[in-house]
Amino acid sequence: MRTTDYSNQIPGLILIEDFVGREEEAAMIDAVDDNQWCGLGISPNPELKRRTQQYGHLFSYRYRKVLEELGPLPEFSSAIVDRIMKQELMPNVPNHLLVNEYNLGQGIMPHTDAPALFGPAILSLSLLSACVMKFTHVETGHTLDILLPRLSMVVMTGDSRYKYKHSISKDHIDTASDGTTVHRDRRVSFTFRGEHHVFAF
């Protein structure tokens, strides 16, 4: 693993390369592809224009709230969760896993993961393909485009979590702030989050 600390540009932002190996990646992709995807007209969250899976609890993008408790995170994520906690990347064991699929031409608009719902650390693992993630300060407009290599984990805490929005373009070729280019392909991300509150259902 190689860690790049971007805190001198955006406080709280780090990138850990080779967080998983190729065999782990293949097993995780096989596991999610064997499960039910939603989005693209399929419930829950049928309004999404990309395919997703959620574990731990069900978050509604339309209503911006948690709708249902889904139980513990799946077995195929256990080794990753153990690694997260061993490296002290989150203050508490993550209880929400969001799996996003991005095919060529798909991205995500600038957003900050629901500050009132999810905890102080957002971690996202990039599988199958690299991409460039843009960070934009909500007040100053300061931006930084960083390359998220295949198999890497990006960790957002502090300012990068709360004061910046992050996004992924729909471009077929991405360019990072350092000039690195990447040709996009199918990318599957595993985003690990916690929560501040105990929800009543």
Q: Interior CA angle at 157 toward 146 and 75, to 5°?
A: 90
pLDDT at 25: 98
**Residue 124's domain is classified under what CATH number?**
2.60.120.1520
pLDDT(55) > 80: yes
Instruction: Please give the residue that has the higher pLDDT: either 1 or 80.
Output: 80
Would you give the DSSP letter of residue 76? Answer: G
Domain membership of residue 73 (yes or no) is yes
Q: Which pLDDT tens digit goes with each residue over 189-201?
A: 999 998 745 444 3
The more confidently predicted of residues 123 and 47 is 123
Question: What range does the domain containing 180 cover?
Answer: 2-193
**132 within some domain:** yes
What are φ and ψ of residue 111, in 5° steps? Answer: -160, 160
187 and 160 Cβ atoms separated by less than 8 Å? no
Q: Is residue 163 part of a domain?
A: yes
Q: If phi over 0 gives left and psi between -120 and 50 gives alpha, with beta otherwise, what is residue 85? A: alpha
User: Is position 199 within any domain?
Assistant: no
Position 198 in a domain: no
Give dist(CA 51, CA 200) in Å, integer.
28
Flag whether 200 is in a domain.
no
Cα atoms in the Cβ-side hemisphere of radius 13 Å centred on 6: 25
Cα–Cα separations (whole angstroms), residue 152 to 4, 39, 57, 95, 167: 11, 25, 24, 20, 17
Distances (CA, A) of 43 to 36, 61, 64, 167, 177: 10, 12, 16, 24, 37
Q: Considering the entire predicted model, what is its pTM?
A: 0.92
**In the chain, % of residues over pLDDT 70:** 97
Q: Is residue 59 part of a domain?
A: yes
Give me the chain's average pLDDT, please. Answer: 91
What is the count of structural domains for the chain?
1
Is 27 within the bounds of a domain?
yes
pLDDT digits (tens, 9 = 90+) for 134-162: 999 999 999 999 999 999 999 999 999 99
**123 within 8 A of 153, measured Cβ to Cβ:** yes
